[in-house]
């Protein structure tokens, strides 16, 4: 199986990069793991709603260009479905059983995902109603994907 994470914005702190790299290394035992980073568009805090939509649209176009044609797309969206770690593991397992070999997870920029990206997504996943820094969230997502593969392999993992 191929797992891709497409995220908007570079990871600036080394400790976040180190954590992501560690989980990516661990994931290599279970799948092909790919990270794609889309540069974030500059957005001032005083931008109007239409200016923010333009920023999301530009980022969205870049994201859509990175998605493989046959990939099952999971958009990380605060309005999405919340799953436990075991339920995420089951979702990934079920997709594999049904013949899906390419899953793409998308983390938007600080303004969220464009309408086009959300429409392309086959599934919308929420980890919480809380807001997380994007850099930290990429660590959390990578760890949860690793945890899902460990659960599916029947291997011990801290609960």
> Mind listing the pLDDT tens digit for each residue in 72-92?
999 999 999 999 999 999 999
Nearest Cα neighbor of 74 from 111, 37, 33, 108 is 108
Spatial separation of the C-alpha atoms in residues 3 and 16, rounded to whole Å = 19
Given a contact cutoff of 8 angstroms between Cβ atoms, the answer to whether 24 and 155 are in contact is: no
Report whether pLDDT(130) > 90: no
Report whether pLDDT(56) > 70: yes
Q: How confident is the model over 28-36, as a mean pLDDT? A: 97
pLDDT of residue 158: 67
> Quick check: helix, strand or coil at residue 101?
coil
CB atoms within 10 A of CB 47: 14
Q: How confident is the model over 82-108, as a mean pLDDT? A: 97
pLDDT of residue 93: 97
The CATH superfamily of 2-152 is SPOUT methyltransferase, trefoil knot domain (3.40.1280.10)
Report whether pLDDT(151) > 90: yes
Q: How confident is the model over 4-32, as a mean pLDDT? A: 96
């Amino acid at each position: 199986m191929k797992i891709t994470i497409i995220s908007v914005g570079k990871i600036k702190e080394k400790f976040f990069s180190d954590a992501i790299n560690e989980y990516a290394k661990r994931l290599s035992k279970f799948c092909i793991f790919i990270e794609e980073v889309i540069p974030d568009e500059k957005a001032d805090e005083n931008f109007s709603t239409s200016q923010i939509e333009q920023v999301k649209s530009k980022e969205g176009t870049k994201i859509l260009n990175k998605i493989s044609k046959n990939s099952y797309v999971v958009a990380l969206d605060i309005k999405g479905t919340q799953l436990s770690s075991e339920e995420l593991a089951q979702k990934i397992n079920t997709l594999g059983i049904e013949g899906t070999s390419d899953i793409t997870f998308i983390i938007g920029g600080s303004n969220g995902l464009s309408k086009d990206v959300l429409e392309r997504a086959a599934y919308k996943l929420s980890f919480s109603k809380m807001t997380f820094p994007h850099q930290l969230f990429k660590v959390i997502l990578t760890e949860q994907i690793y945890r899902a593969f460990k659960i599916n392999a029947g291997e011990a993992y801290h609960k």
